[in-house]
Amino acid sequence: MKNLKFYLPLFAILFLFAFKTNTYAQQYPVLYFCEKYGTDGETGVSDRFTVGYLTVMVKADGPLGLRDCSIQMDKYNPSTGKFAYYKKFPYKVEPDMAYVYFAKNDESDMSFDDPGIYRVFLLDQNDRTVASGLVEIIR
């Protein structure tokens, strides 16, 4: 009983602070994948696709602040247990954009040719990671 009197005020204080914190569903940009992006929006959002072309989507709460950026893909090598560089494509976007898609264009093919697990990055002009995601490619 003596221990209970000691711990009760401590639990009460922790309980109050637990409800005082602010939590947000999305603090940082989110990178995810779809089959294509068009006038109707995203088609086929998933994290598992067959080999071929994909569209990389990035969504943030506010402007990304990017002009020159790139999408880099690294492929997982199960024999080494590490990711290795696969492809990288440059893109230009507007700094005020908070919702961007990266698809096949003249400079990039955005093609995942081999089955496997890929780590995909949105990189800024200094090759710093803005957002990243994993996708599995199957036959």
- DSSP assigned state of 126: T
Residue 10 pLDDT greater than 90, yes or no: no
Establish if 13 belongs to a structural domain: no
Range picked from 4-18, 65-79, 101-115 for highest mean pLDDT: 65-79
Mean pLDDT, residues 86-113 taken together: 93
DSSP 19-80: HHS---S-SS-EEEEESEEETTEEES-BSEEESEE-EEEEE-SS----SEEEEEEEEEETTT
Establish if 53 belongs to a structural domain: yes
Establish if 6 belongs to a structural domain: no
Query: Residue 43: which CATH number?
Result: 2.60.40.1930
Q: How many domains does the chain have?
A: 1
Establish if 19 belongs to a structural domain: no
Establish if 106 belongs to a structural domain: yes
Residue 8 pLDDT greater than 60, yes or no: no
**Structural domain boundaries enclosing 98:** 26-138
Establish if 39 belongs to a structural domain: yes
Residue 133 pLDDT greater than 80, yes or no: yes
Establish if 33 belongs to a structural domain: yes
Return the pLDDT at 16: 44
- Sole residue written with tokens 């109050």: 16
Return the pLDDT at 108: 86
Residue 43 pLDDT greater than 90, yes or no: yes
Residue 49 pLDDT greater than 70, yes or no: yes
Cα–Cα distances (Å) from 132 to 22, 39, 59, 74, 135, in that order, read: 24, 25, 11, 11, 10
Q: pLDDT digit string (tens) for 54-95?
A: 999 999 999 999 999 999 999 999 999 999 999 999 999 999
Establish if 20 belongs to a structural domain: no
Neighbours of 45 (CB within 10 A): 13
